[in-house]
Amino acid sequence: MSTTIKLSGTGQEMPLVGYGLWKVPKDVCKDMVVQAIKSGYRLLDGASDYGNELEVGQGIKEAISQGLVKREDLFITSKLWCTHHRKEHVKLAIDKTLADLGLEYLDLYLIHFPISVKYVPIEERYPAAFFADPVAKTVVIDPVPYQETWQAMEQLVDIGLARNIGVSNLPAALLIDVLSYARIKPAVLQIEVHPYGNRAQLIQFAQSQGLAITGFSSFGDASYQSIGMVNQGADFIPLLDHPTVTSIAAEHKVASGQVLLRWAVQQNIAVVPKSLNSERISQNINIFHFVLSDEQMQSLNQLNIDLKFNDPAKFLNYPIYAN
C-alpha cells in the first residue's frame, strides 16, 4: 500500500505516519525530532499549544544541517490556537509559529479546536492555554464565527504561509457548514481515532467529501492516563492491553501499538504517534510489512464504545460533541 495520502486541492502527498509532538518535553524535543527523522519520519505534527515549537525548529535545523533531509522532504503541521480565532489575530499566530520553527511556510495549518476564547497577546503569555486567567483557570468564550476564522486561514494560503489548511476536533454538523462556504476546502480533518472510538460515520462522510483524515491518540487511553483524563472505572481495560489487540499482535509478531496504527492506516487514516523511546519511535513507523485480515479489522471495530478522551466537555465544560 502507499505510505502517503494525496491531499485535495494541492495534490501534495502527506505521509501516513508522522511523529506527534504533544507532550514532548522541551529538554529532549530537539533530539527527539532528529531521532524521528533518522528513523524515517517525514511528517512532524505540532501545535503552538504544545509549547515546544522553538525546540522542534531546532531539531529540524539540526536534521537539515546533518544532511538527513531537505526542507522540501518534510511535511510540517501546526495548529491555530483558540485565543487567535479573530481574523486580525490568525496571521499573528502563524507568524509566531513560523518564527519559532525557523520556517517560511507550513505544509498544513489546522484550526486546533472549534472553540474561540478570549484573545491573549503573544507577548503577554504564550502559549496561552484555554484560560483568560491562568491562576483562576477561568475560560472566557469569545463568540467568533467559525467562518471568520476559516476565511482568515484561506488568506494564509493566498500569501504562501500555509500550503494546505484543515480542521481539527470538528463535529460533522460544523464540517458540513464549513464545506458550504469554504473557498478553499479543508484538506485534512484531524480527530481522535482508535478502536474504542472509531468515529466511523464522521470519517466516512469526511473522506467522501475529499478530506484526508489524521487520527490522533491511536493508542486510546495511553496518553491520557498520566494527566487524569481517563476516568473509566476499575474494570476499564487499557486499549494496548485489550485481549483482542494483544492476540492480533501475537499472531503478526508485532507490538500492540503497531496493530492499532496499522488498523488506522489500513483505512487510509494518517497517524501521529508520540514516543520518547528510540526503539518505539522506529517501531511505530514500521507498520507496512503486515496486513490485518478482514476478520481482524472487524474484531477491532467491534471494540467501539464511542469513547473520546480528549473531550472539552470534560475539562472545559464545553460540550462540542454533545448529542
Binding residue per annotation — 84? Answer: no
201-210: Cβ within 8 A, 24+ apart: 201/172, 202/171, 202/172, 202/175, 203/267, 203/269, 205/172, 205/175, 206/175, 207/268, 209/175, 209/179, 209/185, 210/8, 210/185
Distances (CA, A) of 2 to 268, 282, 294: 9, 19, 19
The residues annotated with a catalytic role in the active site are: 50
Helices 172-181, 146-158: axis angle to 10 degrees equals 50
Tally Cβ neighbours within 10 Å of residue 207.
Answer: 15
Helices 278-285, 26-38: axis angle to 10 degrees equals 40
Residue numbers belonging to the annotated binding site for substrate: 112
Residue numbers belonging to the annotated binding site: 112
